[in-house]
Structure formats: C-alpha cells, structure tokens
Structure 1
Amino acid sequence: MRGLAITLSFGMGLLSLSQEIAWVRLVSFGHEGRPHAFAVVLVAFLLGIAVGALLGGRHCRGDGPLLPVVARILALAAVVDLGALRLAPWLMTSEPTAELAMLAPFLINREADTLWPLLALMLLIGACAAIKGMLFPIIHHLGSQSSQDGIGRSVSRVYVANVLGSALGPLLTGFVLLDVLTVDQVFVAVSLGAAALALLVTLQERPAPSAAAWRLPVVAVALGLLNLLHPAASLETIARLGGGTLRHLIQNKHGVVHVLAGSGGGDITLGNNVYDGRLNIDMRVNSNRLDRGYLLATLHPQPARVLVIGLSTGAWTQALAGMPGVERIDVVEINPAYLELVQRYPAVSAILKDPRVHIHIDDGRRWLKRQASERFDLVVMNTTFHWRAYVSLLLSTEYMQLVRSRLAPGGIFAFNTTGSLDAMLTASQVFADVVRYQNFAYASDRTMAKLPDALQRLQASRLPGGSAFAAELFASGELAEQLAHAPLERAGDYLARSQKPGAPPPEAITDLNLLTEYRHGRPPLQGRLQGWLPPTPLRP
C-alpha cells in the first residue's frame, strides 16, 4: 500500500502541474498574451487545490475503504478534464458570443460584461485542480496507514514523491511535450494518466472489485481515447471566434502561430493570437506598412550589416534585403514556427535561400548580449504590442543600452512603439537623437536627416521580381515621394503634443518596473483591478 501511495502522490503531482502549464498556454492564447493570464491560472489552481484538500480530508475521517474512493475521484478527474477543455474556449472571447449565450446565458448581463466569463473560466480551472486536490490528504492517509516506520517518515516519503512529480510536470510539459504535442493532446494525456491511475487503484482493491467498480475508470479511458480521435481543437476554436477563415495553425513550446485568410492585403499572421503582420510585400497595397522599414533607406547611406529582431512573416526581412548597400542580415527569431510559415508563402520564402540572410533561433536579447564584438548599421525590431507579457524586456532602458552598444558609428535602431509614449521616451533618454514616423521610433547617436539621394535610394530598392516601388508611387504626394522628402518629427515634439490632460506623464521603462505591461498597457482583468493599483507609475 505504501508503494501505491507513493506512486499516486508522484502521479498526481506530475499530472496536476502538467495540466497547469497547459492551462497557462490555453488561457494566454485566449487572452492575447496579456500578463494576467498566468496569474489567473495560478490563483484558480491554488484555490482549487485548497478547496479539494478540505473536501478530501473528510474521506479520511471514516472507517470505510479508501481505494474505491480514490479510483472514483481519479476517474472523475479524467472526465472533468476533457469536459473543461471543450468548454474553456467559449469563455475566452473579448466579447460574448452567441455560442456563449447559448451555453451559459447566466454569465452575460445586458452590458455584455466580460468579467463573468473570466470568473467562470477560473471556476472551471479551479474545479479541475480541486478534484485532483481531493486526493492529496487521502493518499497521505493511505501511506500512513500501511507504514511500519512511523507516520512522520511515511508522510515525508509521500510528500517528497509529490514534490518530485510536481517539479517534473512543468519541465516535461513546458520543454518537451508542448514541442511534440498540441495543447489538446496534453490535456488528453493528463486525462488518460488519471484514468490509468484509476484502473491501477481498482486492481489493488481487496476484496476484488465488482463489475460496477470498473465502469467509471473504463468510461474515462474510453473518453480519453475518443478525444484523441476527435480532438477538441481548442486553439482553433478560439482563433475562429475572432473572425476570419483559419488557414494555418502551428504550435510548439515557444508559442502558437496562426494565419487567417486576408482579402486584398494578404493573409493575416497572428503570434499567440495577436496581430503579427500580413503576408504581403506589395507597396502599392502596403497592408504591412513596410514604408516604416523603407524609411531607413532614406536615413542611412550604407547599411551593410543589418540585425532584425523577430522574423514574423519575413516581409520586413525581404524588404531590408532589397535596400541598396545591404551585405548581410542577421535575423533572430525565438519561435521556429515562423520558418515553417515563411516556407509556405512564395512572396517571402526567398529570404530562406538568400545567402546574405542568416536566421538564428534564439531569444533576441540573449543573442545580442552574446555578440559582444559585432556591430550593426541597422537594428530593426517590429515586435509585439507593448502591453503583452515580457515585452518590457525588449523596450527597457537596459535593453536599449545594449542595442546602442552594438551599433556601428552612425547606426540606427528602429523599433515599433505600438503607440507607447513610455517606449518613445525611453529611447529619447538612451539615444542622442530620436525621430518618429507613424508608430515607429528611429534612434541614433547622430542627428538624423533625409539623405540628399533619398529618392534614388528608394528607386534602387528591390524585391524578388522587380522594383520595390511602382513608378506611380514616386509621383508628387505619393508614398515613395513622401518617404524621401517629408520632414522628420522629433520625439520630443511628438511626446509634447501627445500628452493628454490629466493622464500620467510617460516614464522610462526598466527591467524592473514592467511599465508598459502593468501600468500603461491594457488594464488587467478587463480593468476591474485598475482602481486597486498605485496612483503613480510603478518605480524600481
């Protein structure tokens, strides 16, 4: 019995924490990578485990056999996990849908408040954790009942087994399973694991269990196998709820990339369910706003070495590769799924065969830190929205100082502020000169101005199959002519005219204050916690 208790303790720790990682992936995708996603899952999980432990403790006070109880709880956990996976996507929409109204009309009020679906989601996560949490006190009770070495030693062994399983679960799931399995398959694997433990416990029952005792474990296994044949497609469901026709969806341990069909302006790419560019390089359409990249051709006379942080659709790298003077482009991309995506679209796949383009699968900041001897004429970063989790690491003062140290004399750092005044101010405090074009900041230690031959440089820019700009785009008032001659706006002027009365002034982002994510990003929990936050921006 002691060996069974240790096995169950290890198994439940492994399964529970594996499922928590899968929940984080699912909720983060559904909530567009906002910082609160992990906290939502963690709070729901901890509360669920606590409630489950209280309920499970009641079973230890009687004299009845505990193994049948354990088997039923394990089988119930397996079934509930599968049901939760089917229901969860409908609780993670930015606006309540008709399907949500049909499934749970009591969750929606007349103002279409999205707080209630969030609370329902937390309740769902907590229920999965609570059922498994019920087993923890029961398993300890089983271990202490059969121990000949004393209760203290028995409890410690069972507890250590649970700790080992809980430590292995996130490592196994986060670093291995999510690279070979989908989120749905991880949920099913957890469900089948619980069902298998239910069968194991049933086999250990003495006297031999009746036929009725096998029903629930067998049903749990059957449902798990059925879900392997007919997966829930949870991420696909969330993606389609956002609107549009889903073309591709690629999952790995780094995240989720999917593509929606676009009309006219190319297919739309989303990274972890947030807009990440369009698969289009036609400057007559300019749906990808590549003019922000081509502005660099009018500012730097000889951009021989270029660094791109973030591959995305490959459109920006393709545009930079066609600018006059470019000899080598290093691209750092953390998610190899984008390589698979680029291969599927001929308009951008040429960069994979261009000998000047070198793609590195790595974290952008880590890679840049390791290149102490490298110097780049251009560092271009069209990365994700400033309000998403961990993006401060690519917008902070410390990061910009690192970029500045890797620029060659006269080099330019161009990045997407995504409308963050904090990001623009941070660049202004690190670099001697910062100018703005649309939502991009262009930072350098030299004073930037349009080159005298800016128009000619744009005319010389190429794409596979011809010129980057059609002839009509050089007419007066058209895109290429404006890029070459329109005056630059200094960051200071932009910040002064953009400050709203009564709004907190912009502040420099640091690695410690997470300013854009928690204070000036999208309010967490649909704004419900905004009033609880400190009245002034957080400081390190």
Structure 2
Amino acid sequence: MKYFAWCISLLVGLMSLGQEMLWFRIVSFMLGGAPYAFALVLFFFLLGIAFGANRGKTICTRYSNLLLAGGMVLIFAGFIDILIPFIIQSLNQPNSLFECVCTCCILIFVVAALKAILFPIVHHLGTNIANGKVGASVSKVYFFNIIGSTLGSLLIGGVLLDYISISSMFILIGIVCILLGGLMIIKKSAISVSAFAILGISCFYFVDKHSDYIFRDRFGQDISINSYIENRYGVIHIANDNKDGRKNIVLGNRMYDGILNIDPDNDINDLNRLYLLAAIHPNPKKVLVIGVSGGAWTRALSSFPTLETIDAIEINKGYLDIIKQYPVVSPILDDHRINIYIDDGRRWLKRNSDKKYDLIVMNTTYHWRSGITNLLSQEMMNILHNSLNPNGILAFNSTRSLDTLKTAQSVFKYAYWGTMGFIYASDSEINIDDNVAKNRLDKLVLDGKPLFNEASKQVKNGAYQKTLATKLLSLDEVEKLYNLGRDTEIITDSNMITEYKYGFGANN
C-alpha cells in the first residue's frame, strides 16, 4: 500500500503544480503580462491547498475506506479539469476583464483544493503506524509529493507546452485524474494498473494536442484572427482590426507587438523611428536587434545600404513560424546578412560580449510588463553600452516612460527622446541635418527598389516627411513637456520601478 500511496502523492503533486503553471499563463495573458499575475495565482492556489488539506483531514476522520473517498475526489477533480477550457472559452465578450479574472481565481482555488484533499489521505495510506516509524513514513510521502511538484513545473511548464496547448493540457490532466481515481476505487493489481496505463496512453493519443479553446477568440467581434501560435513562451496572434481597417497586427500574449508592414507609404507602425537611424548614423555596418517579433523592423533595417550584418535575438521561436507565413517579412529568413538567434537578449549579450555594433535596436514592449526590467535597467544599459562601437547608437522604445530616458542618460553621454518616446542614446552627440538626412534616406533600397519613391516623399504625413520632421529632445525638455509631477528615477535590477512602483495604472 505504501508504494501505491507514494505514486499517488507524486502524480497528484505533478498535476497540481503543473496546473499552477497553466493558470499563470492564462491569468498573465488576461492581464497583459502584468507583474502581479503570478502573485494573484499563487495566492488563490495556496489558499485552495490550505482549504483542501483541511477538508482532507475531515475525510480521514469520517471515512474508513480512504481509497474509495480519495478516488471519488480525484474523479470529480478530473471532470472539473476537463471542463476548464470550455468554461474559460465562455468568458468572452461582453464579459469584463474583472469578471474573467475573478472566475479564473475561483477555478484556481477549486482545482487546487480538490487535489490538496488527497494529501492527508495519501499520508494515512502511506504511513506505517504499527512499526512506530510514523515520521519516516510521513517524510517519504511528502518527499514523493515534492518530487512530483518539481516535475510538474519543469515538465509541463518547461517542456510539454511546446508540443501541447494549454487547453489540451487541462483535458489530459483531467483524464489522468479520472483514471487514477478509478484505480484507487478498484484497488491496485497488476491487471488493473496495466489496463489503466493502456487507457491513459490511448487517451493521450486521441486527444487533440493543439485545441485552442482558451485563447482563440479573446478579442471580440471587431478583431479577426489570421494566425495563431501557442508554445511555452506564450501566445501569438496575427489579427485584423475590422473597426479601423488595420491588418496583420502582431499580438504577443494579448498585447500589441507590432504590425507586419514595411510600406513607407502606409506607415501604420511608425517605422520612421527606425529610418531616423539611417539619417543620423553615417555608416552602420553591424546591427543588433533585440526582439524580432513579426520581423518588420528587421526587414526594414535590411534596406540600409552600408549594412553588412544583422544579429537578431528573439526569445520566442514561434515568431519564426509566423514570419514564414507572410511574404512581407519572410525574406529575412533567407537574407545571408541576417543571423537569427533564439535566446534571451541579455543572456546572449553576456555570452557574446566581444561583439560590437554600430546600431542596437530594441522595439521594447510596454515598460510596466513583467520582466521588462531586464531590458530597461541601468545594468542592461551598461551591457548595451559595452556592445557598441565608438559613435554607435542605441535605439529603444520607452513606451513613454520618462524613467527610461533618465536611466539611459545615466550610462550614455547623450540620450534623446524622439517620436512616441523612442529613445536614442550614444556617447556622441546626435544631430539631424535635413540635407544630409534626405541624402541618406534616398539611398535606402529594399528588393532592388528605393524605399522612398518620389510620390511618397510628397506625402505630408508619410514616413519620409515624419522622419525628417523628428525632433530629439533632452530630458529637461521632455520633463517640461509632460509635467510628470515627480522626479524621474533610474531603473535598476533591484528597484524594478517600472514594473511595480510606477507600473500599469501608476503615474508614469
């Protein structure tokens, strides 16, 4: 019996902690990657464990057949797990975000509580009171539970989500719960274990591993989805906004991540912020891009006439599958000058500290999202500074956080605020000469054709004119313009101020 109890303890721990990872992905998606998403999930998960363990204790005192009681609880928990993707799917428009998150928190509490009921039960089943080794028996049950919990986080969160969707993972976990519960009720034997193992393998084979009940339709009727990719790094949508006519919008974990567009005559993704680099740097040969996303910025960079090499870093390999599907950006995969690496940008820079660049471009995500400190902190600015050649330029998206400009200014001699809060930093003063800028922009060539034709140059609000009209402002000028109402601060790895102190909804 003790071996059976150890196995149940391990499997329940694996499923429970694996589900915590799934819930974190869902809640983080709903909240747009807000830093407090994990804390919210953890709070209701631990609350559910505490409540479930207490109910398990009551079951142990009231029922003599603990295998039957535990089996019934697991079967019920399994059916709830299977229903979860469909419940969340129903939480679509017109439900508010608050209602969706509240429902998820209740479900987190319920599924955590149901599995935690098994914890006291398996301790009773696996404890040998007769020989007096109660402590040793309890520790072994707990040991296997910890092993299962660790495996659940690593196996499900770190491996399986690359091959199985979150919706399918909930369904498969539910099936395992039902089978394990049934095995507890009929009691173990070589025949029953073999039969249930075959059933489990069959279910794994027949369940669709890529069903997308949870994330496919999360944007309402005004948004239509062209492409969809889900992996362990998150969820990518390529969407059309049927209300304002914009097409091929890249959404990473529900948040805007660019547009698959390089047409300067229709500069809906404000690539003029990138073209400015061609106007202010005389001879960029080596370029580093951190965050490829849909590839539009990397594709536009390939038009620079003096370019020799682009090293492009992207943490989510799913974007490469997206890029392959769209001819407007797919040439970057075959361009011999462009090297794409699937890695974390900061980690890659540390591993390749000997490489130097004329330009480093980061079209960074919103400054309040979880983990963004890794790209915006003073420590990261120092790493980027060390990776630039003399007169090199760092260009990155502040998403209008003045603290990022203050941080860049603490590392670079010059840091400027450009269009939409795009920041340009260098140890050399950056000046825009209209005649020089025009000459350099005229030399941008893509697919053998000038990027800016004569017609596009005459468009008042076109990318060409917007690039030439760019004003680079100092921190003092920007502070007067925005009247922040507080002193700007330097972002560090320790204070993480854009994520917490001045995060989403705070005064930025």
Give how far 1:507 is off: 1.0
In structure 2, what is the equivalent of residue 488 of structure 1? 472
Contact 2:240 2:246 in 1 (8 A): no
Q: TM-score, normalised by structure 1?
A: 0.86
Gaps of 5+ in 2: 193-198
From 454, 472, 497, the counterpart of 1:515:
497
SS at match of 1:7: helix
Contact 1:147 1:154 in 2 (8 A): no
- Structure 2 CA distance, aligned partners of 1:230 and 1:458? 45
In structure 1, what is the equivalent of residue 298 of structure 2? 317
In structure 1, what is the equivalent of residue 268 of structure 2? 287
- Structure 2 CA distance, aligned partners of 1:322 and 1:125? 49
- The within-5 A match list for 1:29-108 is 29-62=29-62, 64-91=64-91, 97-98=93-94, 100=95
Say how many residue pairs are matched: 498
Contact 1:70 1:198 in 2 (8 A): yes
Does 2:240 correspond to 1:261?
yes
Q: What amino acid is aligned across from residue 257 of structure 1 in structure 2?
A: I
In structure 2, what is the equivalent of residue 379 of structure 1? 360
- Relative distance call for 1:485 and 1:185 in structure 2 (3 A) is closer
Contact 2:75 2:177 in 1 (8 A): yes
- Relative distance call for 1:232 and 1:482 in structure 2 (3 A) is closer
Farther-moved stretch of structure 1 (460-469 vs 377-386): 460-469
- Structure 1 CA distance, aligned partners of 2:306 and 2:26? 44
Q: What amino acid is aligned across from residue 239 of structure 2 in structure 1?
A: L
Give how far 1:265 is off: 4.2
- Structure 2 CA distance, aligned partners of 1:66 and 1:180? 36
Q: What amino acid is aligned across from residue 343 of structure 2 in structure 1?
A: D
From 384, 387, 392, the counterpart of 1:411:
392
Contact 1:74 1:132 in 2 (8 A): yes
Give how far 1:120 is off: 3.0
- The within-5 A match list for 1:294-333 is 294-333=275-314
In structure 2, what is the equivalent of residue 526 of structure 1? none
Give how far 1:241 is off: 3.5
- Relative distance call for 1:318 and 1:115 in structure 2 (3 A) is closer
Give how far 1:473 is off: 3.0
Deviations 1:84-105 (A, max 9, x none): 33223555x7xxx33x4xxxxx
Aligned-pair identity (%): 38
- Relative distance call for 1:473 and 1:20 in structure 2 (3 A) is same
From 349, 369, 375, the counterpart of 2:350:
369
- Structure 2 CA distance, aligned partners of 1:229 and 1:425? 47
SS at match of 2:340: strand
Does 2:248 correspond to 1:248?
no
- Structure 2 CA distance, aligned partners of 1:252 and 1:118? 22
- Relative distance call for 1:449 and 1:269 in structure 2 (3 A) is same
Contact 2:72 2:185 in 1 (8 A): no
- Structure 2 CA distance, aligned partners of 1:391 and 1:400? 13
In structure 2, what is the equivalent of residue 237 of structure 1? 217
Deviations 1:442-490 (A, max 9, x none): 0000110124521011111022252211312323855424523654322
Deviations 1:33-62 (A, max 9, x none): 111111111111000000001111001113
Does 2:466 correspond to 1:447?
no
- Relative distance call for 1:421 and 1:510 in structure 2 (3 A) is same
In structure 1, what is the equivalent of residue 113 of structure 2? 130
Gaps of 5+ in 1: 101-111, 210-218, 524-529, 531-535
- Structure 2 CA distance, aligned partners of 1:117 and 1:477? 44
- Structure 1 CA distance, aligned partners of 2:56 and 2:212? 30
- Relative distance call for 1:63 and 1:253 in structure 2 (3 A) is closer
Contact 2:85 2:213 in 1 (8 A): no
- Structure 1 CA distance, aligned partners of 2:70 and 2:202? 19
Q: What amino acid is aligned across from residue 170 of structure 1 in structure 2?
A: S
- Structure 1 CA distance, aligned partners of 2:129 and 2:75? 24
Q: In angstroms, what is the RMSD of aligned CA positions? A: 2.8
SS at match of 1:400: helix
Contact 2:163 2:209 in 1 (8 A): no
- The within-5 A match list for 1:140-179 is 140-144=123-127, 148=131, 150-179=133-162
Does 2:487 correspond to 1:505?
yes
Does 2:186 correspond to 1:186?
no
SS at match of 1:60: helix
Give how far 1:162 is off: 0.5
SS at match of 1:516: coil
- Relative distance call for 1:356 and 1:262 in structure 2 (3 A) is farther
Q: TM-score, normalised by structure 2?
A: 0.91
Give how far 1:505 is off: 2.6
Contact 1:182 1:251 in 2 (8 A): yes
Contact 1:265 1:285 in 2 (8 A): no
- Structure 1 CA distance, aligned partners of 2:345 and 2:62? 58
SS at match of 2:415: strand
Give how far 1:405 is off: 0.9
- Relative distance call for 1:180 and 1:57 in structure 2 (3 A) is same
